[in-house]
Amino acid sequence: MRPDQPAALQATAEPRRPQARQPSTLRDVAEAAGVHAATASRALNPKTQGLVSAATARRVLKAAETLGYQPNPIARSLKTSRSFTVGLVLPDLTNPLFPPIVRGIEDVLAPGGYSAWIVNTDNDPQRELAQIESLRSRQVEGLIIATARLDHPLLRKMHDEGVRMVFVNRRVENLDVPTVTADDATGIALAVKHLADLGHTRIAHLAGPQSTSTGVVRSRAFRHAIRDHGMADDPSLVVECARWSEADGAGAMRELLGRDDRFTAVVAGNDLIALGCYDVFAERRISCPADISVVGFNDMPFLDKLSPPLTTVGVPHHDIGAEAARMLLDCIEQPERHPRSVLMAVSLVIRGSTSRPSR
């Protein structure tokens, strides 16, 4: 016993671990129904139910019912090496981008009888390896990966080993794995067009990490869009953020302001980076959108409540998750089907952080 108990709780001593009734097993059910376990198994499994007589099936079902029988998925997995579980590999659940994607995934998995096991990698390759190994040893039947980098030896190796997986949001360079992403290029084009239409002629870009497909696709799309609108593709107007974070966004914005402050608008690689801009605006008393317009990407929650409300590219998080899950289920259940990749449609969400340039 610990000598120091917090005084706060004074619960009365109680009998340790009350009757934790053993869950009943298949044998219990079989016994209760007066049949062999094998028969009970067949009766309980829709796939094999046809092999037993209707009468015994009924008896077994009834017995299972009264005993409150729940099949033990662990034993089943051991025997069948299936788990009806998929792994979900995220960089960080705390990023508001992911929860809606997770919900989308779960909404598709659940009706199929599957569940998702969520892990965070914190963008640490060590952790990622450990987490994925742990998932695989738990017999997950596939992986949904949201942490892909363009150069990603681990994922490449896994693909070579035939590991079933689907990428969300980002992809690995030259790796033929089913992927679902937002239509990043179109999103950026919409953002640039919006700013150009407002009359902006010097537009900057705070790019996401160029180690990720999302980062390069968006920044490439930015440069194309700029030229399409007849503006100069000035490299000094593009700054790369090392990570998709508010802090990195702020750093990049400071860098940009140090270089040249004649730009009147900025396309941020994503919403967090845009929030970093807001921080710098606050510290330097820059007014948005009066002095500088900002567009984000993702339309994460609560952006409409910011000051000013952030104009951004809306992506269908939930649908992206759902589609990824559907793809993975397809890979599992119809392995012969050719893998697809999909680009989900985006839309510009115009709010208060963009206006005509004042200069």
Partner DNA sequence: TTGTAAGCGTTATCAG
Partner DNA sequence: CTGATAACGCTTACAA
Contact positions vs DNA (CB under 7 A): 22, 25-27, 34-39, 41-42, 44-45, 48, 50-57, 69-72, 75-76, 78-81
> Among 25, 37, 56, 71, which residue interacts with a copy of itself (rule: CB under 8 A)?
71
Phi-psi region of 84 (alpha: psi -120 to 50; beta: other; left: phi over 0): left
Q: Which is nearer to a copy of itself, 285 or 336 (CB)?
A: 336
Q: In the structure encoding, which two tokens stand for residue 344, read together? A: 């989900």
> Among 118, 154, 198, 350, which residue interacts with a copy of itself (rule: CB under 8 A)?
118
Strand 312-314 to 347-349 pairing? antiparallel
Q: Which is nearer to a copy of itself, 8 or 55 (CB)?
A: 8
Q: In the bound complex, what is the minimum distance in angstroms from residue 42's beta carbon to a copy of itself? A: 12
Q: Which is nearer to DNA, 70 or 94 (CB)?
A: 70
Strand partners of residue 168: 180
> Among 124, 133, 151, 283, which residue interacts with a copy of itself (rule: CB under 8 A)?
133
Q: In the bound complex, what is the minimum distance in angstroms from residue 9's beta carbon to a copy of itself? A: 5
Q: Does the footprint of a copy of itself cover residue 287 (CB under 8 A)?
A: no
String marking each residue 78-117 x if it binds a copy of itself according to CB under 8 A: x---xxx--------xx-x--xx-xx--x----xxxxx-x
Element (H, E) at 144: strand 143-145
Q: Does the footprint of a copy of itself cover residue 1 (CB under 8 A)?
A: yes
The site for a copy of itself, by CB under 8 A, has a size of 89
CA dist 261 to 142, 253, 271, 291, Å? 48, 10, 21, 10
93 interacts with, out of DNA, a copy of itself, none, CB within 5 to 8 A per kind: a copy of itself
Report the Cα 299 to chain-centroid distance in Å. Answer: 14
Q: Which of 252, 249, 305 is nearest to 272 (CA)?
A: 249
Q: Does the footprint of a copy of itself cover residue 257 (CB under 8 A)?
A: no
Q: In the bound complex, what is the minimum distance in angstroms from residue 71's beta carbon to DNA? A: 4
- Identity of the residue numbered 142: G
Q: In the bound complex, what is the minimum distance in angstroms from residue 222's beta carbon to a copy of itself? A: 22
Q: In the bound complex, what is the minimum distance in angstroms from residue 138's beta carbon to DNA? A: 12
Query: 300-333: string of b/e by CB count within 10 Å (b at 16+)?
Result: beebeebebebbbbbbbbbbbbbbbbbbbbbbbe
CB atoms within 10 A of CB 255: 13
Element (H, E) at 134: helix 125-137
> Among 228, 233, 255, 333, which residue interacts with a copy of itself (rule: CB under 8 A)?
333
Q: Does the footprint of a copy of itself cover residue 320 (CB under 8 A)?
A: no
Q: Does the footprint of a copy of itself cover residue 301 (CB under 8 A)?
A: yes
**Residue 235 gets which letter from DSSP?**
G
Q: Which is nearer to a copy of itself, 78 or 242 (CB)?
A: 78
d(CA 121, CA 171): 16
